[in-house]
Homo-oligomer: A and B are copies of this chain.
Amino acid sequence: MPEISDTLSALPSHAIIREVGLRDGLQSIARVLPTAHKLEWIQAAYDAGQREIEVGSFVPARLLPQLADTAELLAFAKTLPGLTASVLVPNLKGAERAMECEADLMLLPLSASHAHSLANLRKTPDEVLAEIERIVAARNASGSRTLIEVGISTAFGCTLQGVVAPAEVLRLLRAVLDAGVDRVGLADTVGYADPAMVSRLFEQALPLAGARLNCAHFHDTRGLGLANVFAALQCGVTRFDACLGGIGGCPHAPGASGNVATEDLAYMLKSMGVATGQDFDRLLALRAKLAQWLAGENLRGSIWRAGLPRTLRADASSTTLS
């Protein structure tokens, strides 16, 4: 028999799925999901084995009324042992709130696309970079234990600007690493990435960032989300954002769907022998609840309809995807 390829033998034994549906998903759905449902979501996701959840965003409630209860969700999430609760913050003011609320991690978006950065935050990438430096300084001065992760968005292209040069992504990556952030991720905000692009960019970025680059965020706008995850996984990335039911989108990406669906990602990883600790039945039960809560919204994904392959049911003593 031929040897198993280097590519496959290099697949990691474990990966982390960060649920970002409460933030990235709900922010693009007009209706406000009641706080009680969100609390139930966080608890049920935790019970299904999820240990990283982005619970919301510290942005002004007039801009995103859907996420106005972020502080309350964060307080609840912090009561769950071993859960890393993250929040998105767009600026120093948001970061101060995240630190006051003792978020485990705050996610700072930095658009590699000049045009997207202006549209989204009304700042150039370098102005956002300066704000990130201020946030790192404030965090370090305060003694806060809140980790800082920068998500470099539109890293694979932009609906407004078109091409985003990989060199610009790498420049910003170096700059935020120099600024002293704890983690960095690359995000395909608009669904322009393909597996070859993903391999190329991560293979250039990983030697610069090492273990600090450990998150990939793929939208499934054009159906390539899971293929892109596979490509990133081959590069050694082991942490992925996902939205239950594939909800969400991007206001600047017409027709965009959300991140890859959490349940489909959990299935793909399990099928390949990459453990995520997810209990599949609980995950699907939660998805069914979400579908009720968001009746009329466009939920996506495949595995909820087709069910796990018989081979995965048969070879497991339980349905835990561990």
Q: A192-205, CB under 8 A of B: which get 1 and which 0?
A: 10111101100110
Known: A226-B224, A311-B157. A271 touches B207 (CB 8 A): no
Set B157, B301, B311: member contacting A310, Cβ < 8 A: B157
- Verify if A62 is at the interface (C-beta below 8 Å from B): no
Interface residues of A in 230-289 (CB under 8 A from B): 230-231, 234, 253-257, 261, 264, 267-268, 271-273
Enumerate chain B residues within 8 angstroms of A203, measured Cβ to Cβ: 2, 4-5
- Verify if A63 is at the interface (C-beta below 8 Å from B): no
Enumerate chain B residues within 8 angstroms of A309, measured Cβ to Cβ: 157, 159, 190-192, 222
- Verify if A61 is at the interface (C-beta below 8 Å from B): no
In the complex, the answer to whether B255 meets A305 with C-beta atoms within 8 Å is yes
In the complex, the answer to whether B255 meets A307 with C-beta atoms within 8 Å is yes
Enumerate chain B residues within 8 angstroms of A191, measured Cβ to Cβ: 306, 309
Known: A194-B271, A197-B271, A226-B227. A302 touches B8 (CB 8 A): no
Cα(A190)–Cα(B312), bound, Å? 14
Enumerate chain B residues within 8 angstroms of A253, measured Cβ to Cβ: 306
- Verify if A11 is at the interface (C-beta below 8 Å from B): yes
Enumerate chain B residues within 8 angstroms of A295, measured Cβ to Cβ: none
In the complex, the answer to whether B257 meets A222 with C-beta atoms within 8 Å is no
Residue of B nearest to A223 (CB): B302
In the complex, the answer to whether B255 meets A162 with C-beta atoms within 8 Å is no
Interface residues of A in 131-156 (CB under 8 A from B): none
Known: A2-B207, A4-B203, A203-B4. A257 touches B223 (CB 8 A): no
Residue of B nearest to A193 (CB): B271
- Verify if A36 is at the interface (C-beta below 8 Å from B): no
In the complex, the answer to whether B314 meets A223 with C-beta atoms within 8 Å is no
Cα(A192)–Cα(B268), bound, Å? 10
Cα(A163)–Cα(B224), bound, Å? 27
- Verify if A318 is at the interface (C-beta below 8 Å from B): no
Binding site for B on A (CB under 8 A): 1-2, 4-5, 7-8, 11, 157-159, 162-163, 190-192, 194-197, 199-200, 203-204, 207, 220-224, 226-227, 229-231, 234, 253-257, 261, 264, 267-268, 271-273, 301-303, 305-307, 309-311, 314-315
| 6 more CB-based (< 8 A) A-B contacts, given A220-B302, A257-B306 | A2-B204, A8-B196, A157-B310, A221-B306, A223-B268, A257-B302
